[in-house]
């Protein structure tokens, strides 16, 4: 019974993947016969695709070949608009990590202050409520105008979108520390700094890590859209550039790469969350 439970989920996942690939393959089979089509459309998608002899959408095999090419040579550099998917991912991950770490350096200390002081909470709350709902991409034009650098502007957007989940979760975690623990620390005359690091931080750490996990997911979502706007380098630019080249197979490859990196980032933060979570 335990073996069935252990292997059941992976086997079901494989079955769902195979079913999806089978439907995809069937949907991209060429049509029988030929048909007359507009000349401009034929130029856009190719004569074979336009007349139905070949699907305009790539088959699983075509995407597989593109993926294999990206895997075997991910770091090639043939000029500004032709870089390997590994290089593009490296640019995106670097921007996300820089903006994310800067946000953590700002959000966690401020979240501590807000969580420990009702006065500070009331002072910061109007600003948080106004700034939190603003789409990070709405800051992009202002960032481009003031910073005058597309890469730095993308990092700023990551910073903005990462701050709020970390700040709010940190404040909530600190404010939710059990009063009994704080009273014991006060009875033992533990200093404010030591109390923060030895009592409050360990108790609030799971909630803080939850905010950091939410932030990394949002940051990875936003960087793709930001890079589509600013261009140059990054996985978002890669996807947009392949759309301009009408390479749907490369677009699907980029989408899969985005999903896999996002999964790795989320699982890494989930692992860290479990490490700082004490059993009940």
Are both 211 and 262 inside the same structural domain? yes
- What is the pLDDT at residue 105? 95
Higher pLDDT, 69 or 200: 69
Please provide the average confidence, as pLDDT, over all residues in the chain.
Answer: 82
Q: How many domains does one find in the chain?
A: 2
Are both 39 and 92 inside the same structural domain? no
- What is the pLDDT at residue 53? 57
Are both 48 and 154 inside the same structural domain? no
Are both 30 and 167 inside the same structural domain? no
- What is the pLDDT at residue 253? 92
The pTM score is: 0.84
Q: Name the band, by pLDDT with cuts 50, 70 and 90, for residue 218.
A: very high
Residue 218, domain extent = 85-275
d(CA 246, CA 239) in angstroms, rounded, equals 10
* Phi then psi dihedrals of residue 83, to 5 deg: -120, 150
Reference 151, options 95, 111, 199, 113; nearest CA is 95
- Residue 188 has a CB neighbour count (10 Å cut-off) of 8
Reference 47, options 61, 36, 31; nearest CA is 36
Are both 179 and 266 inside the same structural domain? yes
Q: What is the CATH number of the domain that holds 236?
A: 1.10.3720.10
């Amino acid at each position: 019974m335990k073996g069935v439970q252990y292997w059941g989920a992976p086997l079901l996942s494989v079955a769902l993947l195979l079913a999806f690939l089978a439907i995809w393959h069937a949907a991209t089979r060429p049509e029988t016969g030929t048909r007359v089509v507009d000349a401009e459309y034929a130029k856009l998608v190719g004569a074979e695709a336009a007349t139905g002899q070949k699907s305009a959408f790539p088959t699983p095999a075509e995407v597989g070949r593109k993926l294999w090419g990206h895997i075997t040579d991910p770091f090639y550099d043939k000029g500004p608009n032709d870089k390997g998917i590994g290089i593009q991912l490296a640019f995106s991950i670097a921007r996300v990590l820089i903006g994310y770490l800067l946000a953590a350096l700002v959000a966690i200390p401020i979240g501590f202050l807000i969580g420990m002081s009702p006065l500070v909470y009331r002072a910061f709350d109007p600003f948080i409520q106004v700034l939190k709902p603003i789409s990070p991409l709405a800051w992009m034009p202002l960032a481009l105008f003031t910073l005058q650098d597309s890469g730095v502007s993308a990092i700023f957007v990551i910073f903005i979108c990462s701050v709020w989940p970390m700040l709010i979760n940190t404040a909530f975690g600190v404010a939710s520390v059990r009063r009994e623990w704080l009273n014991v620390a006060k009875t033992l005359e533990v200093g404010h700094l030591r109390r923060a690091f030895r009592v409050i931080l360990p108790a609030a750490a799971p909630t803080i890590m939850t905010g950091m996990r939410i932030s990394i997911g949002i940051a990875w979502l936003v960087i793709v859209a930001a890079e589509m706007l600013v261009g140059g380098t990054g996985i978002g630019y890669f996807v947009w550039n392949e759309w301009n080249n009408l390479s749907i197979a490369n677009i699907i490859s980029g989408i899969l790469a985005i999903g896999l990196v996002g999964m790795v980032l989320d699982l890494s933060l989930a692992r860290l969350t479990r490490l700082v979570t004490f059993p009940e």
